[in-house]
C-alpha cells in the first residue's frame, strides 16, 4: 500500500440506501470497504477482481497463503463460483443460509486463484445481515471479505473497532451497528463428499457441529480446531494456521473448575495483569478483570469475546488469564478463538 493511500482518511458511511450506493460504487471501482455481517465486520473487495483482492492482503498485512471467503447475496449466486454442488451442500444451504456457515467446494474458473491462496477450492457464504446482502447485490459482484482488522488481531464487531485498525488503509466502512454473533462463521469442507468422504469442520462458529450432523449426518472435526496444523500442512480455511485473534497482551488460557480458576488467578496475577473472565467470577477475584460473557451462555461469550480482547490493550494489561469456556455447541468456537489468541499457551488447574 502506498504512502498516499495510508494517509487518506476512511469514510464512515451509514446503512442508508444512498450510502449503500456509494459503498457499492467504491467496490465496483476496486476499492476496499468494510461491511457489517452478523458474525464480524468484513473487509470487502470484488472477489472477481484480482487486483482488488490483492489489496485486501496488503491492507491487512495478511499472510499470502491464507485463503479468503467469498460472500454472495442469494443462493442463485453460488453455482457460477463452484464446479458442482453436492446434495449435502444443497441441504445445508437450504437449512442454514442466510447465516454464519461457510462451505468449501472446488472453485470454478471464474474465481481468481488469489482468492483461494493458490488452492483449487473456494469458500462461500451467504450472510444473514441485510446490509451485507444489499451491498453485495448493489455492487453486482460477489465480495471476498475476511475480517476487517490487521492480520492476527481480534476481529472487529462494530465500526469503531474497524477504524482502530483500518482508518486510512481502506476507502470506507459501512456502519451497520454491532454484530449479532460476534465470532466468524463456521467453515465446513465438502470437497470430499462426492468421493465418499465425510464433511470436515475446519473452523467452528455459530452453526454448531451438532446442527450440521442433524442435517447431513456424521461430520469430522479437523484436529486443527483444537490444535496446531502439522508442520508443512497448508491452511484450507481462514483462522487455522497462525496465531490469531490476539491482543498485544499476553493471554494464557486457564482450564479447570471455576473455583480453581479463581484461586489460580488470585495467586498469580500481578498489578499489570487481569482476569479475562465470566460475569459470575467478578466478586471472587482480587485483581482487575474484563468479562466476556456468562459461564453457561456460550452465545454471550461469542458476542463479547473480541471486544473484551481489545479492551485488554486499552487498559494496558500485561498478562490476561482467560477463563476456559465449555467446548460444547457454540462454546467450541469460543474455545478455538481463545486458544489461538493465547498462541496455544494453556494452564490446567483443579
DSSP 158-218: SHHHHHHHHTTTSSEEE---S-SS-SPPEEEE-TTGGGTPPPEEEE--SS-HHHHHHHHS-
Over 50: is that where the pLDDT of 5 sits? no
- The pLDDT value given to residue 232: 60
- What is the mean predicted confidence (pLDDT) over 254-269? 97
Question: Residue 213: which residues within 8 A CB-CB, separation 6 or more?
Answer: 219
C-alpha distances (whole Å) from 69 to each of 110, 182, 279, 315, 344 are: 15, 17, 33, 33, 25
What's the rounded Cα separation, in Å, for the pair 257 and 350?
6
Judged by DSSP in three states, 221 sits in strand
Question: Residue 24: which residues within 8 A CB-CB, separation 6 or more?
Answer: 135, 138, 139, 140
What's the rounded Cα separation, in Å, for the pair 302 and 106?
30
Among the residue ranges 10-14, 24-28, 231-235, the one predicted with the least confidence is 231-235
Residue 224: DSSP 8-state: G
- The pLDDT value given to residue 244: 72
Over 60: is that where the pLDDT of 224 sits? yes
- The pLDDT value given to residue 3: 45
- The pLDDT value given to residue 164: 95
Among the residue ranges 6-10, 82-86, 229-233, 322-326, the one predicted with the least confidence is 229-233
- What is the mean predicted confidence (pLDDT) over 259-271? 97
- The pLDDT value given to residue 230: 67
What grid cell was written down for 119?
Answer: 488452492
What's the rounded Cα separation, in Å, for the pair 281 and 304?
16
Q: What percent of the chain has a predicted confidence (pLDDT) above 70? A: 93
- The pLDDT value given to residue 301: 98
Over 50: is that where the pLDDT of 4 sits? no
Closest CA to 205 of 233, 225, 223: 225
Q: Do 276 and 322 contact (CB within 8 A), yes or no?
A: yes
Over 80: is that where the pLDDT of 113 sits? yes
Among the residue ranges 169-178, 228-237, 294-303, 312-321, the one predicted with the least confidence is 228-237
Among the residue ranges 93-97, 109-113, 239-243, the one predicted with the least confidence is 239-243
Positive or negative torsion for Cα 274, 38, 166, 119: positive
Q: Residues 15-73: pLDDT tens digits?
A: 999 999 999 999 999 999 999 999 999 999 999 999 999 999 999 998 888 899 999 99
Read off the pLDDT band of 233 (50, 70, 90). low
Amino acid at each position: 500500500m502506498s504512502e498516499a493511500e495510508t494517509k487518506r482518511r476512511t469514510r464512515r458511511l451509514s446503512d442508508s440506501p444512498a450510502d449503500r450506493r456509494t459503498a457499492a460504487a467504491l467496490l465496483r471501482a476496486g476499492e476496499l470497504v468494510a461491511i457489517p455481517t452478523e458474525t464480524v465486520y468484513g473487509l470487502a473487495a470484488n472477489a472477481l477482481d484480482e487486483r482488488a483482492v490483492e489489496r485486501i492482503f496488503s491492507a491487512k498485512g495478511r499472510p499470502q497463503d491464507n485463503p479468503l471467503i467469498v460472500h454472495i447475496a442469494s443462493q442463485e449466486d453460488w453455482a457460477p463460483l463452484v464446479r458442482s454442488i453436492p446434495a449435502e451442500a444443497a441441504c445445508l444451504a437450504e437449512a442454514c443460509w442466510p447465516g454464519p456457515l461457510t462451505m468449501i467446494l472446488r472453485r470454478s474458473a471464474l474465481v481468481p486463484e488469489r482468492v483461494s491462496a493458490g488452492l483449487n477450492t473456494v469458500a462461500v457464504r451467504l450472510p444473514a445481515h441485510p446490509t451485507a446482502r444489499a451491498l453485495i447485490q448493489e455492487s453486482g459482484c460477489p465480495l471476498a471479505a475476511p475480517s476487517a482488522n490487521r492480520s492476527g488481531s481480534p476481529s472487529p464487531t462494530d465500526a469503531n473497532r474497524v477504524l482502530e485498525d483500518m482508518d486510512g488503509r481502506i476507502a470506507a466502512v459501512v456502519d451497520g451497528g454491532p454484530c449479532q454473533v460476534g465470532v466468524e462463521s463456521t467453515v465446513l469442507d465438502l470437497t470430499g463428499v462426492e468421493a465418499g468422504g465425510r464433511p470436515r469442520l475446519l473452523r467452528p462458529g455459530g452453526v454448531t457441529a451438532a446442527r450440521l450432523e442433524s442435517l447431513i449426518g456424521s461430520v469430522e472435526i479437523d484436529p486443527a480446531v483444537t490444535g496446531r496444523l502439522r508442520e508443512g500442512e497448508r491452511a484450507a480455511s481462514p483462522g487455522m494456521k497462525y496465531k490469531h485473534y490476539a491482543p498485544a497482551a499476553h493471554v494464557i488460557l486457564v482450564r479447570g473448575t471455576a473455583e480453581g480458576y479463581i484461586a489460580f488467578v488470585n495467586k498469580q496475577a500481578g498489578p499489570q495483569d487481569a482476569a479475562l473472565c465470566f460475569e459470575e467470577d467478578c466478586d471472587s477475584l482480587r485483581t482487575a478483570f474484563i468479562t466476556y460473557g456468562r459461564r453457561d451462555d456460550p452465545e454471550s461469550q461469542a458476542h463479547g469475546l473480541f471486544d473484551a480482547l481489545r479492551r485488554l490493550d486499552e487498559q494496558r494489561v500485561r498478562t490476561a488469564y482467560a477463563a476456559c469456556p465449555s467446548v460444547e455447541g457454540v462454546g467450541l468456537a469460543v474455545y478455538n478463538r481463545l486458544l489461538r489468541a493465547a498462541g496455544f499457551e494453556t494452564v490446567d488447574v483443579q
